[in-house]
Structure 1
Amino acid sequence: MTHDALPSIEERYAALHDRFQALETQLSEVQATEHQAMTLFSEAPVPYLLLNAQGRFKEVNAAASALLGHTPEALRGKRLAQFLAPASQSDADVLLHQVMNHGLKQRGEAQLFCADGTPFDVLLDIDAAKVDSVFLHFRVVLTDITTYKQVHQDLLSSNTTHQQELLTQGARMRTLNQELEQIVTAFLQQLHHPVDQAMNVLRRLRQKLGDQPDAVTRPLMQTEQAIQAIVALLASMGRYMQMRSMRLHVRPVALGQVLREVLKRAQPVMADRTIRITHDSLPTVQGDSQALLLIFDEYVANALKFTKGRDEARIHLRVEETTSEYRIGVEDNGTGFNLRHKDRLFQLFGRLHSSKAYEGTGVGLVTVRRLCELFGGRVWAEGKVDEGATFWFAWPKQPKLQR
């Protein structure tokens, strides 16, 4: 290259001048961007601060300054830990360490102190600003959650109080229920004596009167029948109260043995009647022998009662098995009932027939329903008027006591 081909001093100066102007333009743009960023930072509606690698304040916006109760000038250079409650300092250090080493945004709760020493709770959202993997500062957003924490604590306290009140009310209700059961049981026991006396007086009166006209004997017979109805009601209510206080257990129970015991007890009622009782193969189930005896007794007694008008009463125990339960049905050829009224059968005193035609209190089937429900079972009935009925109960293969 010849000497004449080298750029002149003027040309080199012009090139340097152009580069210098381009750098000045870039610097102005960077400064404008930084100014805009600082303006956005300062005027951000949320408390925002920048920390250096040692956790000291580099910059604090107006919202953070107001939250902490110090001017930005007073905060710069001080450690964040100075404003943290002792219990929160180690947690904050862990968050900063995780952000520095793993580069992931972290969130945690902390308790800060205002200038007047008043504590308040905040949520810390921390991440790190880096350029080409070079750390610049931590960015921290503070969210005041004092009100939220207070409301949350108030709700917890209210819930605790409410639960305590429920427990107290539950205990009170159990006590009242026990007292009521004791009163009813005592009432039933006390009522037996005057009723027995009235029956004895009527019996002796009829014996002394001997043969009398219908006008004399009929009122006595009606009174005796009324007292017998009271006796039956007392017996039913007694069984119902006994059911409520039963100590139930889940053990293997052979239903065939239960049926034999029920039929043995029913012999006086079956005397002088033509009755044919059959049954499918009865399984051994998991349950309580007292409960199942009472259920069978009520169902068989119900079938015997409503077949009184038949020359031959036919009662058959049906058994159906599914994967989860046994369905036991007591089928009879008695008077039956209208299916439209089936929902009344298992309600307290839910009679479908006149007490003049059929004795009973309307309590026995309620007892059956309650016992079945205690073991997770259910009851229902099928029938037609004058074509018989079948009373069912479903017994779970794996019963669980509900009380």
Structure 2
Amino acid sequence: MNDQKNEQAQRKLREQAELKLEDAVPEVLPLVETPEALRHELSVRQIELELQNEELQRTVQKLQEAHEKYVGLYDFAPVGYFTLDGNGAIVQANLRASRMLGAEGSRLLGRRLAQFTAPDSRTTLAHLLARLHASQEELVAELRLQRGDGSTFPVRLEGQAYAPAGSLVAVTDITTEKAAQEDLLRLNETLEARVAERTAKIRELSTELRIVAVAVAEDLMAPLRRVASFGELLKRDVVKDSEASLKHLELISRSVGQMEELTTALLEYTRASHGRLRLTPLDLNRVFSEVLKDLRPQMEGRKVSLTSGLLPTVQGDSNAMQQVFLEMLRNALKFTATREEAQIHVRAEETEAEFILRFEDNGVGFNNRHKDKLFQVFKRLHPESAFPGTGMGLAVVRRICTRFGGRVWGEGRVNEGATLFLAWPKQPHVLD
């Protein structure tokens, strides 16, 4: 290296050969008479010093640039860095760490990291620092740091021994990670609850289907037996007595009509159980108006006040919701038939998760002790002779509501009217 500098100096000296000795020798040198060789040597040394100074300046500049780059990387790193002494006091902290704690970096220096740790996490920090100096290995722990305003947040600390007794600690804010974990836990709990709910509903449906099978066997077989019986009687009476034959034929026709009603009701229930559903916004005021048109024929010759309050817009299937309103209002019209003036009113209430629809009437009501049977398949709370029907209409309502995650129930008093309730979820989930 010295030879190279010497060569560079010699070259530069030759370029300055015409310069006077006074210009080539530093001012600090005395102007004395010297041999030519000595003057030449002094000139070479002077130029070497200048070259070394230039190189030193370049090196200093590179070091300065590297330092600035290091400071930038250190301060703006995505994690916080603390350099701690043997007592856990902060010797150095980067900008990210200062921002985490909501304090200026200068205010952190000299203070122990434990002062910025939540009380319930200080023991964890103390154990971590003790283990760092004992093991000399990188260790990881999760705890909560505390800002000056008292708020805390979760962090992951990764520590490593540093210098004779100090340590270097990297801090990562894991607030988002913890929130995601909590959301996942809540989702798992919700999923478990939904699975349990759906399992319960499936079991309920299985039980209900078994009840339907028994009911169908009982209710459909009776008319069939009567048809067969009166058919045999007709064979014997057709010649003997035409009047008796006509009576038997009338009974046969009535039984066949009853079978048709039961079969039709069963088909409606099957469609309500397995029909394809589509969730769309439904204005229940419009649904009420459309159903009212279909009920006009049933109200002819009667004095009926069929009204509604302001009804909400819900998520549901248009055909299914019209079926619900049709069956609920048909039921109200049926059991107000004995009243001089039927009064039927539909209104809505809202809770945080549901819309509660109330179908109120001034009909014959029912004994509230039997309200659990109100929406069951082929169940009647009144004699068929007084109020004809299959007992399937409200079962269809219950089945539709169940498929959307809704609920139905009723309250009534004998001869004091009844109120049927329908709870429709704001965010229904269709159960096939």
Structure 1-normalised TM-score? 0.47
Q: Highest Rg: 1 or 2?
A: 2
Q: Normalising to structure 2: TM-score of the pair?
A: 0.44
